[in-house]
Structures are given as C-alpha cells and as structure tokens.
Amino acid sequence: MVFKYFSILLLVFFTVLVILPVYLMVKVSLSPPEDIMVQRPGFLIRNVTFRHWKDVFKSGRLWQPLKKSIIVATTTALLALLISIPGAYVISHLSRTLRYSMILSLFFTRMFPEVGIALPIAVNFIKWGLFDTNLGLTMAHLIRVLPVTAWILIGTYRTIPSDLEDAAQVDGCGRLGVLKHVVLPLALPGISVALIFSWLMSWDEFTYALYLCLREKTMPLQVYYYISRGDWFLTASYATIITIPVIFVTYILQKYLRSGYLAGAVKG
Amino acid sequence: MKKIFCPLFISLFLIAGYLSAWGAGRDQVITVTTALSEAEWKVMKEDIWPMFQRRYGIKVDAYTVEAADLGKVLKGMVKAGRVEIDVFCQDNMRLAELVDLGVVEDLSRYRGQIPENVLPALVEAGVFSNKLYFMPYRPNVQIVYYNPLKFEKYKLNPPKNWDELLEVAKRFHAQEGMGRILFKASGGAPTTAQLYEWIASAGGDPFSFNDKGCVATFEFLQELWSYCHPDSKKAKWDTTNEFIAKEVAYIGQNWPFGVPIIVKDWNKKWLKTYGGWEGPEKEVHIIGGEVVGIPKGSPNKRLALKYISFLHSKEVQEILMAKLAWPSIRDDASGKVEGWLVPHFESVTEALKHGIFRKNVSYWSEFDGLLNDAFTRIVIKGEKVKPVLDEYSRKMQETIGKYKKD
Amino acid sequence: MSFRKLKKSWLEILLITPLLIYILGFTLAPVIYAVYMSFQDKFTLHFPTLVNYKYIFTHFQFKEAFFNTCFVAGVGITLELTIGLLVALILYRNFKGRGIFRAIMLLPLGVPTVVAATNMRYIFDTSGYLNSFLLKLGVVEHAVDWAGGGIKTLMTIVVADMWKVTPLVMLILLAGLETIPEQLYEAARIDGAGAWKRFKHITLPLLKPAITMALVIRGIDIFRIFDLPLILVGRHTRVLSTYAYFEYYDYANPYTSSAGATILMVMILLTIIAYLKMTGTKEVQY
C-alpha cells in the first residue's frame, strides 16, 4: 500500500515536471509584456492577451512553414517506410554476422555529428538543384530517419516466426507473396510505430533544415529565427503553435503502443 | 494502362499551361536577402518594397539570411552555378570573407551611380584592393542603453568615461549585492565588435593583441568583470534588450534596433540612451550596419543595380530615418523622426560623430577566434593579462604570415 | 559471391539496394569526406596533415568541451535510464487513468528540441522561473547564475535533455516490460519471492535487451547533443558538437570543425565497443 501511494505521488511529481515547461511557454505566449519582462516572474497567469498570437498570425511567417513542415514530415515518413520495409526485411534474414555488421553500419552514420554531415550535403544539393526544396530537405531527413525505421522494422520482422514464412512458401507463395501476404500484415503494428517515429523525427529536425533552407523555413527554423532575434513573445506563441499538432500525434502514438508494439524491436 | 494516360496528359497539360501563364503575366522579380528585426522587416515589407514595385514594376522577393550564413550560401550557389540571389545585404564586418570567397561582383564600373550626397567614407568602406565590391546602405553604431530610474535611485550619473563606468559598476554592486552593468561577453561577433571598440578607444591596435592599448583594455575589463551582471556571459545584441527591459541590468551598449522593441513592444517607456563613453585615449565607436552587393553571376544584375539606386535615393533614406531612426548614408536626408524616437536618434547621431571603420582583413575570422579566446581566458577565467596577450599576439602574427604567403 | 548465387538472390538484392544506396551515398560518403577534411591543411589544402588535430588538442575550449561531453553523456544517460525505468515500472501497473498519464508522459517526445530548449531557457534564466521559485522559498539570497559554468551549468543541460528524451527511454523500457510473461511473476510469487527479488531476478535480466536498445539509441544521441546546449548555454559552455559548430560558424574553419566532429565519432565508437565488450555480445539481440 505504501508503495502504491508512493508511486502515485512520484507519478504526479513527474507529470508536473513534464507539463511545467510547456505550461510556462503557453503562459508567456498569453501574457502582456509587463508580466513577463520582470526580474522575478510569477507562475500564475495574471492577465491574458492574445496580442502575440495575433502577431504571429499576421506576421506571414506561419502558414508557409507549417505547410512545409507537414509536407516534409509526411513525405519523409512515407519514403522512409518505402525504403526500409524491403531493406529491413532482407537484413532481418541475413546471417548473424552480416546482420550485425549491417546494423552497426546503419548506426555508424548516426555517430557522426550532423553539423559535420550537413555541410558536404548542402554543397551537393545545391549542385543538383535540391537546395531549398522540399524534396532536398526530405532526402536529408531520410539520412536521420532511415537507420531508426530500419532498426525498428528489423526488430519487428525478427519477431515473426520463420515457420509461418516457410509454410507460406511451401503453399506456393512466391518470395514477394510471402512478404506481401504474411510478413507485412503481421508487421503492421511495428510499421505504424516506425511511421509515427519518423514523422516526429522529421518534424523536430533542425540542423539539416538550417543548412538546406533559404526562402522557405520549417517550423523549428522559424522558432530559432525568433529566438535569435530575442523576441520572447513571438517565440513562445510560435512554439506553442508548433507543439499543438504534436500533442495529437503523441496521443495517437500512445494508443498504438498500448500492447507494447515496440517490443518487436526489443525482443530477441 | 491506357486509363492512366489520359488523366496524366491532362494534368501535364494543365501544369504546363499554368507555368507559362505564371511566367508571362508577372512583374519582374528580384530576390533580395537581408537580416532584420521584426520591426524593421515590417517597414520594408509595408513601405519600401511596395513603393519600389509601384515605381519600377519590379517585385522584391525578400528573405532572411543571417550575416554569418551568407558566405556559405553564396559560396554554394556560385560553386554550383545557380545564383538565386540578386542583391544581398551584409554586415559590414564580414565583407572580406565574401571578397576572398570570390562570390561578389566587382561594382567599380557602377561607382558613378552612387549619388554625390552619399558620404564618401561610407563608399570607401566597400573598396577592397582598389575594387568597389559593396555599396553603402545603412550605417549603424552602438549606443548606451540605461535605466534612469535606477540611476536616480542611487543618485548616479550615466558614466562619461571608463573611470566613471567602473565607479558606477562598483556602486551598483555595493548597493544591490550583484553586478548591474552589462558587457556583451556571449562570445563571437558581438563580443569582438565591442572589444574592438574598447581597444581602439584605449588607443590600441586590436590586431597587435599586446600593445599598450590592448593591455590597458584587458586589464580594465578584468577589473570591471567582477562588477558586471553574470548574464553578461549571455549578452549579445538580442539578449541585451531583454536584460535591460527586465531590469536585470541597468546599463549596457547595444545597436539601436532594440529601442523600439523595448519601448514599444515591451512597454518600457523609461528607457534612455546616449552616445557612449570615452576610453583612456579618446571616444571611439565602431561603425557597423549593412552594405549591399551583388553576387557573382546574378541573373538580374540590371534590376539589382536599379534596386540599389532606389535604396540610395533621398526619399527612401528619409523613410528609413523617420520610421526606424536609421542614420542616413546621405548628408542631405532629413526625415521626420517620430517624437518618442528623437532622443534616441540623437544618441545615434552623437555616437556616429566618433565613428571609425574596422579594418577589413581577410584573416578576420581567425582574429575573431583569437580575440574571443583571449577574452575568455583573461576576463572570464581571470588569467594573467600580459602572458596570455603575448601568446595570442604570436598566434596572430603566425596566421597573418600564412595569409601573406598565398 | 558466385553468379548463380547472385541470380538466386536477385530479389533480396533488389529489395535492399535503395537502403544501401542511401546509407552509402548520403551518409557514409559525407562522413568520409568530413574525416578527409579533418586531415587537410586550411591554407595549403595539403593532405594528410595533423595540423587540425594539433590545434584542437591544444585549444582550451576543446579540452573543456571534451570533459563536458563526457559528463553530460555519463550523468545524463544514467539519470535517464533510472528515471525512465522508474516511470515505466509505475506505468506498467494497471490503474485507473493510466492512459492519461501515459499520454502526458509522452508529450515531450513530440515537442521539437528547439522549443524544448526555449522552454528550458524560461526556467534556467537568471531571471527565470527556477530562480523566482527559489527566491520565493528563500533558499537562495541572490538569483543563481545557472549559466555560470561548472557542474551546475552542465546539470541544466542534463535536465533539459532528460525532459526531452526520458519519455523515449521509458517507452522502450515499457515495451520491454510488456514482453515479460506474467506467469514468471506468478511463479515467483508462489515461490515466495518478494518484490525486490522479483525485480532483480526476473525483470532486470529479461529487460536487458530493451535496456541495451535504449542505451545504444540514447548513448549515440547524447554524445552528439547539439541544439539544446546551443540555445541554452551558448559559447561559454561547449560540448563537442557545439565546439565543432562554433569552429565552423564563428571562425569559418571547416577543417578544425571536422577534426572535432571526427574525435566525437571516435569517442562514440569506442564507448559502444566498450559497452558491447563489457556486456557480452550474446545478450544483444536485434
């Protein structure tokens, strides 16, 4: 019993910690400057103003980044699946050592700081006309997203009993048929998790966008733009707006995760 | 299969039609990059660019490229042979970098289009090895922001020289148990600009690192540092506004763009400014601001030059002066500055009287790095002044030697 | 590989090609290019040279960045795993409102890092909410200078990073917990094993693959941590990523920047190899 109350107390404590920064952001975005621009700000919302929100909507810096972020994140997620669903399938069927080195090399690319990779990529993209385009940014985001989706999917495939595949093959299914009719339906939960993860990773991405966007910014870049101009209120309002869609996405994610679909990547 | 072809054709047809219509029915467009604050951006967007379009039928497609990014962006574009920028505005501190990268058009032939009333010193600032690469557009200078309420409270006067500054700093520290003056010590370009100014006003040559003026400046800063507000370590041009407005710090130098933000956006009507203080040798203020240039291989050079001319016109300069309190590049511009802005505009004019230009050298970024490192070690970490400065002086000479070899 | 074998596995090759091309072309190639640059002289473009490495090894900022990175990574990953596990264990139990708590706990996962960093600035500013809180409580007399350097500044980075990624760790561990068969616990309970014993002998060993996964994913990322320290503490407290960034951004030197990035990569590589050696590869299952 003591343990139970203790754990509930702990949970509430963590919940407060999780919500607090987000709450403060919303608070700043809704407060008049007099309440915020002081040495010792209070925690409660005293006066409410929608001025900063209106400013953001009027600034002409909202719809374009929003559109771009949504397009890029969605294309990235779909392309990541398109590439890694078949690729991960093959890797999951390789011999142990080969599989092992494949996975390591997937992650080798994630070991190099993105600031180091972004520069050569930016130069090449300019040459190919991909600079400052949605496609170019999508391709850069894939660099970041692919290893993770591939890994999640490899894990997912590994959980599917190979007997099932063998049986299907005996029944006269081609190899593609096995993938289509047996493996994919079973892997669907893992695939959706991979999809949501890659969407979130692209939505969040900052470094590549910094190097590859010029005319059209993504939402995180736009936030950084406001930060670097020292504008507290526009930053807060904008940051709140960019966080809202994400609340929905995480809500969906947690629904999907109810029965521990991620386990596919975890189990031996 | 046939089923697919029909809609495919139709949609291709539609796209092609749309594209051609789009190309024909439009105004001419030039692409301009700039880095402005929100308030400045608004004036450009609502007044300057529409006016240009009305007059010349050329639409300005503008977007933000930060000063530090411009070199990389242009280098990439020129290297790839796809220049998509027609006119860029750039911080006058980062010009040599662009010249060295070979990404800017030589504008010497068009020198004649600069109006006579533009101050000659500003034009000279765009000349590198006898070629005019950049044209003036907006001079800028740092002024002192301070909080008169706090100064009155402790019966202090705004400092007019280094000794008074130290005195004020000590008084605030003694009264409140915490430093209340701000030095932009965030590192990087803001710190370099401020150090350059201070060293010059102590009669030193910043590139020497260890002449009398440099040593004096660093020794003074080392002493002053213990009376500075700890947030000085985060102070750069954007955060300074915030610290002054929050009354975290009571006095500090910054570029004038912060005045409308603090007074108008944040409703801190008490803000006061003045030109600045003098160093042990003289009063000196670095002239910053932006110049305009054309990237090598710009597709619309003719239109770009027209735009630059437009920026130089008396009319535009007067609008910028009236709405943003930007000092003019012309000696005949007399915009009606809005009432509340007048005292701040006077501070800028006052500071500009002591304006000097920084030396534009190709080893600026190395200098920037070394100066910041020396500053961190001496002022923030409190190492001995002379040995450290000697070390960095040596390093600077080595670097200059390497550039000379090429 | 013989031609026949190649012919037999054409489908596999076809399926994996896009992934391979992507990894090789878009990631390995730039990495190799950057490593190459780190051995190049800025002025003469001579290759190979150790000039850049000599420069960074004698640079005081690099030494600090190196230490800071190790500290943030070490402390950060430990705390993230501990708290992640704690929360996962709580949320694993069935109770009313579990779904809501779970959804709330996942919230930071979706908040963009840039936004998270901004929010943390509201808290850790000298005139921020944490100081406001401490002053009200009377714990401190003057506002604490959180960005003042040393351990407390590093801890702000750790806390910010924890806020952002502990949910991910928790998620992975939760998924791992759910793979442990309930019968095992029941059997243990019948055998009279207490809660702690059950945790030590069933939960921990069976959770090992999940812990490893969390460690590898987080371990790599926390070494490369970039946006958070960039926005939160700026130039005076650097980690290796921001060191590399400032070498390039402030001092326009891609060569020393690449050298810093390469060192960081070697560090990560060594840590992972050491970890795999330590735990034994057998337990790492993919």
Q: Do B262 and B209 reside in the same domain of the chain?
A: yes
Please tell me which of the candidates A39, A129, A233 has its beta carbon nearest to residue B246.
A39
> How many residues in chain B?
406
Question: Does C158 fall in a domain?
Answer: yes
Q: Closest by alpha carbon to A241, among A108, A89, A57, A75?
A: A57
Sequence-ordered list of residues with C-beta below 8 angstroms from that of C235, at least 6 positions apart, any chain: B186, B187, B188, B372, C242, C246, C250
Which structure tokens are listed for B155? 């019966």
Q: What is residue B104's DSSP assignment?
A: B
Of C126, C236, C251, the CB nearest to B366: C251
**Which residue segment(s) compose the domain that C251 sits in?**
62-283
Q: In this model, does residue B6 exceed pLDDT 50?
A: no
Residue A259: pLDDT above 60?
no
pLDDT of B1 higher than 50: no
Best residue in A37, A226, A228 for a mutation probing chain B (most B CBs within 10 Å): A37
Chain C residues whose beta carbon lies within 8 Å of the beta carbon of residue A150: 19
Would you call A116 and C261 a contact, using CB atoms and an 8 Å cutoff? Answer: yes
Contacting residues for A148 by C-beta, under 8 A, at least 6 apart: A194, A197, A198, A201, C217
Mutate to test the interface with C, among A250, A255, A256, A258 (most CBs of C within 10 A): A250
Query: Is-contact C146 C126, C-beta < 8 A?
Result: yes
Spatial CB neighbours of B64, under 8 Å, sequence gap ≥ 6: A225, B33, B34, B35, B36, B41
Q: Is B342's Cβ below 8 Å from some Cβ in C?
A: no
| Chains touching C by CB (3 or more pairs below 8 Å) | A, B
Cis peptide before C48 (omega within 30 of 0): yes
SS3 of chain C: helix, strand, coil, percent, to 5: 75, 0, 25
Helix B49-56 to helix B301-312 angle (10° resolution) is 120
Residues B316 and B369 in one domain: no
| CB-defined contacts A:C, below 8 A | 266
ipTM of the complex: 0.85
pLDDT at A214 (0 to 100): 76
- Whole-number Cα distances in Å, C4 to A93, A176, C9, C13, C156: 19, 20, 9, 13, 59
Count structural domains, chain C. Answer: 1
Mutate to test the interface with A, among C7, C17, C28, C114 (most CBs of A within 10 A): C114
What would the pLDDT profile of A4-55 be if each residue is shown by its tens digit?
Answer: 788 888 889 999 999 999 999 999 999 998 888 888 888 888 889 998 999 8
> Does B15 fall in a domain?
no
In a domain, B195, yes or no: yes
Give the 3-state secondary structure percentages of chain A, helix then strand then coil, rounded to 5.
80, 0, 20
So where are chain A's domains?
60-266
From chain C, pick out residues whose CB is under 8 angstroms from the CB of A224: 114, 231
Does residue B345 fall inside a structural domain? no
CA dihedral B239, B241, B246, B250 (to 10 degrees): 110
Please tell me the predicted confidence (pLDDT) of residue B7: 47
Stretch 221-280 of chain B: residues touching chain C, C-beta under 8 Å: 229-231, 233-234, 246, 248
pLDDT given for residue B24 in this prediction: 43
Same domain, residue pair B51 and B150: no
- Given this model, what pLDDT does residue C6 score? 63
CA–CA dist A128, A133 (Å, integer) = 11
In a domain, B343, yes or no: no
Q: Is-contact B86 B299, C-beta < 8 A?
A: yes
Whole-angstrom Cα distance, residue A177 to residue A228? 54
CATH number of A60-266: 1.10.3720.10
Q: Do B93 and B150 share a domain, yes or no?
A: no
Cα atoms in the Cβ-side hemisphere of radius 13 Å centred on B302:
3
Contact C251 B234 (CB under 8 A): no
CB contact under 8 A, B405 and C60: no
Q: Is the residue at C198 inside a domain?
A: yes
Q: How many A×B Cβ pairs under 8 Å?
A: 62
| pTM, two decimal places | 0.86
Interchain CB contact of A115 with C (< 8 Å): yes
Q: Does a structural domain hold residue C2?
A: no
Positive or negative, the CA dihedral A165, A166, A171, A174 is: positive
User: Looking at the domain assignment, is residue B223 inside a domain?
Assistant: yes
Tell me if C14 is assigned to some domain. Answer: no
pLDDT of residue B159: 96
pLDDT of B109 above 70: yes
**Same structural domain, B88 and B191:** no
Q: Is B94 on the interface with C (CB under 8 A)?
A: no
Residue C100 placed within a domain: yes
- Cβ(B293)–Cβ(B104) under 8 Å? yes
In a domain, C31, yes or no: no
Which of A113, A148, A235 lies nearest to residue C261, judging by beta carbons? A113
Interface of A with B in 94-123 (CB under 8 A): 119, 122-123
Domain that holds residue B191: 143-287+359-405
**Residues A192-212: pLDDT tens digits?**
888 888 998 898 898 888 878
| Cβ of residue A37 closer than 8 Å to a chain B Cβ | yes
Could B376 and C43 be called an inter-chain contact, meaning their C-beta atoms sit closer than 8 Å?
A: no
If asked whether residues B401 and B267 sit together in one domain, one would say yes
- CA distance linking residue C211 with residue B6, whole number of Å: 55
The residue-averaged pLDDT of B69-85 equals 81
How many structural domains are present in chain B?
A: 2
pLDDT reported for residue A254? 67
Distance of alpha carbon B43 from alpha carbon B295, whole angstroms? 25
User: Residue A106 is encoded by which pair of tokens?
Assistant: 């997937």
Structure tokens at A69: 């972020």
C165 CB-side CA count, 13 A: 28
pLDDT tens column, B183-238: 999 988 889 999 999 999 999 999 999 999 999 999 999 999 999 999 999 898 88
Whether chain B has a CB inside 8 Å of the CB on C250: the answer is yes
Q: Do A250 and C265 touch (CB under 8 A)?
A: no
Looking from the CA of A99 toward its CB, the CA atoms found within 13 Å total 18
β-bridge partners, B295:
B104
A neighbours by CB contacts (3+ pairs under 8 Å): B, C
Q: Is A38 on the interface with B (CB under 8 A)?
A: yes
CB B184 within 8 A of CB B252: yes
What are the tens digits of pLDDT across the range A171-194?
777 777 888 888 888 888 788 888
Give CA–CA dist C278/A66, Å, rounded: 46
C208 domain residue, yes or no: yes
Window 145-164 of A: residues touching C by CB (8 A cutoff) are 146-148, 150-151, 154-155, 158
Closest Cβ–Cβ partner in A19, A40, A249 for C132: A40
Taken in order B312, B315, B317, B319, the sign of the CA dihedral is negative
Strand partners, B272: B146
| B348 in any annotated domain | no
Residues of A in contact with B261 (CB under 8 A): 230-231
* Residue A262 pLDDT greater than 70, yes or no: no
Q: What are B31-64's pLDDT values in tens digits? A: 999 888 878 888 998 999 999 999 999 999 888 8
pLDDT at B158: 96
- The verdict on A225 touching B (C-beta cutoff 8 Å) is yes
> How confident is the model at residue C7, as a pLDDT?
67
- What is the model's pLDDT at position C4? 65
- Quick one: B368 and B257 in the same domain? yes
Residue C260 lies in a domain: yes
Residue of C31, C104, C128 with shortest CB distance to A112: C31
3-state secondary structure of B29: strand
**Record: contact A121-C26, CB cut-off 8 A:** yes
How many Å apart are CA B353 and CA B283, to the nearest integer? 9
Neighbours of A82 (CB within 10 A): 11
CB B181 within 8 A of CB B240: no
The verdict on a CB contact (< 8 Å) between C235 and B377 is no
pLDDT in tens, chain C (286 residues): 456 666 677 888 888 888 888 888 887 888 888 899 899 998 888 888 999 999 999 999 999 999 999 999 999 999 999 999 999 988 888 777 787 888 888 888 878 888 999 999 999 988 889 999 999 998 888 888 898 888 999 999 999 999 999 988 988 888 888 878 888 888 888 888 888 888 888 888 888 878 887 887 788 889 988 889 988 888 889 999 999 888 887 777 888 988 999 999 899 888 888 887 877 654 444 3
Distance from CA of A235 to the nearest CA of B (A): 12
The reported pLDDT for the residue numbered A264 is 44
How many percent of chain B have pLDDT more than 70? Answer: 93
- Looking at the fold, whether B100 and B180 belong to one and the same domain comes out as no
Total residues found in chain C within this entry: 286
A38/B246 CB distance under 8 A? yes
Strand runs (DSSP E) across B118-276, as ranges?
Answer: 127-128, 131-132, 135-141, 143-146, 181-182, 251-254, 272-274
Q: Specify the DSSP class assigned to residue C281.
A: G
State the pLDDT confidence band at B405, using cuts at 50, 70 and 90: low
